[in-house]
Structure 1
Amino acid sequence: MIKHTILVTGGAGFIGHHFIKHRLRETEDRIVNLDALTYAGDLEALKELEGSPRYTFAKGDVNNRELVDELIRQHNINLIVHFAAESHVDRSITSASSFIQTNIAGTQVLLDVAREHGARFIHISTDEVYGSLGETGIFTEESFLAPRSPYAASKASSDCLVLACHHTFGLPVNITRCTNNFGPRQFPEKFIPKMIIQALEGTPLTVYGNGENVRDWIHVYDHCTAIDAVIEKGIDGEVYNIGSSNERKNLDVARIILEELGLDESRITHVTDRPGHDYRYALNSGKIRNELGWAPRFEFEPALKKTIDWYKVYRPWWERMLKRGKEL
């Protein structure tokens, strides 16, 4: 029985395409994928779904209100899962305008249309909205928002718009804030694929600063199952942190990758640090674990090794994506 007809925004992106395939595999839902196909969009990842009566692709921008309205009317959408976002911190430092337009203005367009049609709204956010931690401490859903990059600021702004729409108009919403994702088909500019690809290409692994910055890593599949839990059991208006308690220093992740590929640590090169580089992220995900019954399944190092194997096999894919990113 079809329970949801979902509009997924940004479904050709890394997390979005994994979510679509997972959701279609595990449920009877129908999904409409709205994606602008910017440089990181990868329709090839969804090629197997072409012709499926439960999947529709629409090329377009989340700022196009007429298109969003038409899709919701035509397909009787009752749930929006909003992944679409500009998400690379380095690019936001170079130029923030597209981040403001997509992440803030685009989210407001979707909220307006969701209100008009009574569709539930799940907003996929990030742990970066909380800012940076020192050696100790952990963020909860009640932590203050203190973004420190243009990207994080744009996501924090969209989070506030989502919650304001709930409190002012009663729109059923949830926000998920997840730690750093990794897995197959992640765009090469992100840290783990960047390290893997540099190792495979025989170039130095360029690590910002001293490499001591700490991130909590979660496999993309675990992120997808967490979103499932929010869809099925989430309480309206609530925010849910999603973390795996897999904290690793960037330098240590680079070392694991080199060791797996049989390469020496001398391949690591330290480069000038990113401006305003957050030192550490860590999330308390007790709320989603205890209240919604979710738990991650993937251990970090075995999952990382499988991810490395994927990039070894699918070199033509990442070479093509690298070229696309450089053409901007």
Structure 2
Amino acid sequence: MPLTISIIGAAGFVGTNLALAALEAGHQVHLVDVSDRLGRLRSSGLLDRAPHQFVDLARPGARLDHPADVIIHLAALPQVDFSLYEPARVLTNNTAVTAAVLESARTRNVPVLFASSIEVYGGNDGALFTETSPLLPLSPYAASKISCEEYLTSLRHGFGTETTTVRLTNLYGPWQAPDRIVPRVVAQGLSGMKSEAVTGRLRDFLAVEDAVRALLGLVERGLWGETFNLAAGRHTGLEEVTDTIARLTGSGPVVRATTPVKDGRGPSLVASPARLEERLGWRARVPLPDGLRGTVSWYAEHESWWRRFEAQFGADRDGPHFLLDHEYPFWAE
């Protein structure tokens, strides 16, 4: 049955891919974001295919202005790195937007699927995190997600608002800004630049097409009142990912960098998708080598979108200037 889906944070990486997949599946979508500041909605054709509302939901009195069967709330200042430079801004923005979204959902009796992050677990020495693992926020970004999760829980118990939380792993794919590890190294490789990879880090990489398939499956099935890890559950060293991209782009060897003592991340951050597999029948389909190959091909074919961010993916990571949220702040518009 087709749904009318309100996508909050529709101009983001996941939001753009989700909106395209939802339209392909026959759903109607309403796009909500502060703006299309990185040009994803325009470049993907979504501005011509779906109604949109540009509004800063963190501002007092901001409201959603359209009906919906379900809300998928993706909006956030999403970078661990950015939150280390702007901790108060990240916490304030992410909790305020979530409060506004949930107030709209509560008063209109609309269910909400909330995108959290496996960053809430902090990190460990290699064991898979489950949904009942202790939470350990090592960054203000992670703390903001935990705060939002708790607010969802309070509304579910106090007002009967239907909500579900998904904790997203490291996603990659089309339309991801090149201040993240995969698109950054892809853009550097296609530009003939040297790349750097931190050693000693184990992460879990999931193709965004697999992620949006799970998000749509959850709202189509109406699986409310739960928390799910949305992950592949595979330990992968950052060196393996960057070396694969270097081979695909034909760039030179990747420079190895030692792991900083403290930067808001643990050594291993990989979550189990077993609960999602059991409840939804979902499994990751895209093998990492195939997903990286497809991602490199997409970036090679869409240079007109990412080339304007060369100053950011060409900058080193010793300061904030490689971060697009720092260089393209929505609050300065």
Normalized against structure 1, the TM-score is what?
A: 0.89
CA deviations over 1:254-298 (Å, ceiling 9, x no partner) = 111112223342x42526736233211111111111121111221
1:225 pairs with 2:213: yes
1:20 pairs with 2:19: yes
Structure 2 counterpart of 1:43, from 16, 41, 44: 41
* C-alpha distance in structure 1 between counterparts of 2:68 and 2:264, whole Å: 40
Partner of 2:271: 283
C-alpha spacing 1:322/1:65, structure 2 compared with 1 (3 Å): farther
CA deviations over 1:71-111 (Å, ceiling 9, x no partner) = 1xxx3223111001111111110112321122111101111
1:219 deviates by 0.4
Partner of 2:282: 294
Partner of 2:319: none
Query: In structure 1, what residue type is equivalent to 2:19?
Result: I
Kept in 2: contact 1:6–1:30 (CA 8 A): yes
Quote the RMSD (CA, aligned, Å): 2.0
Query: In structure 2, what residue type is equivalent to 1:68?
Result: R
C-alpha spacing 1:49/1:40, structure 2 compared with 1 (3 Å): closer
CA deviations over 1:284-323 (Å, ceiling 9, x no partner) = 1111111211112211101101111222222221112445
* C-alpha distance in structure 1 between counterparts of 2:145 and 2:224, whole Å: 20
1:83 pairs with 2:70: no
Structure 1 counterpart of 2:52, from 36, 48, 57: 57
C-alpha spacing 1:39/1:153, structure 2 compared with 1 (3 Å): farther
CA deviations over 1:184-221 (Å, ceiling 9, x no partner) = 1110101101111122222221223xx22111010001
1:40 deviates by 4.5
1:31 pairs with 2:29: yes
1:111 pairs with 2:102: yes
Partner of 1:173: 163
Query: In structure 2, what residue type is equivalent to 1:35?
Result: D
* C-alpha distance in structure 2 between counterparts of 1:199 and 1:143, whole Å: 37
Q: Which moved further from structure 2: 153-162 or 318-327?
A: 318-327
C-alpha spacing 1:66/1:56, structure 2 compared with 1 (3 Å): farther
Q: Which moved further from structure 2: 222-231 or 233-242?
A: 233-242
State the identity %: 28
* C-alpha distance in structure 2 between counterparts of 1:246 and 1:260, whole Å: 21
Counterpart mapping for 1:1-328 below 5 A: 2=2, 4-27=3-26, 29-37=27-35, 39-40=37-38, 42-48=40-46, 50=48, 52=49, 55-64=50-59, 66-69=61-64, 71=65, 75-135=66-126, 137-208=127-198, 211-265=199-253, 267-270=254-257, 273=260, 275-322=263-310, 325=324, 326=327
* C-alpha distance in structure 2 between counterparts of 1:94 and 1:41, whole Å: 24
Normalized against structure 2, the TM-score is what?
A: 0.88
Q: Which moved further from structure 2: 171-180 or 89-98?
A: 89-98
* C-alpha distance in structure 2 between counterparts of 1:87 and 1:113, whole Å: 22
Query: In structure 2, what residue type is equivalent to 1:7?
Result: S
* C-alpha distance in structure 1 between counterparts of 2:87 and 2:36, whole Å: 16
Kept in 2: contact 1:229–1:293 (CA 8 A): no
Gaps of 5+ in 1: none
SS, match of residue 195 in structure 1:
helix
SS, match of residue 269 in structure 2:
coil
Q: Which moved further from structure 2: 232-241 or 37-46?
A: 37-46
Kept in 2: contact 1:107–1:158 (CA 8 A): yes
Structure 1 runs of 4+ with >4 Å offset: 38-41, 64-67
SS, match of residue 123 in structure 1:
strand
* C-alpha distance in structure 2 between counterparts of 1:66 and 1:97, whole Å: 21
Gaps of 5+ in 2: 313-323
Kept in 1: contact 2:218–2:280 (CA 8 A): yes
1:39 deviates by 4.8
1:228 deviates by 1.5
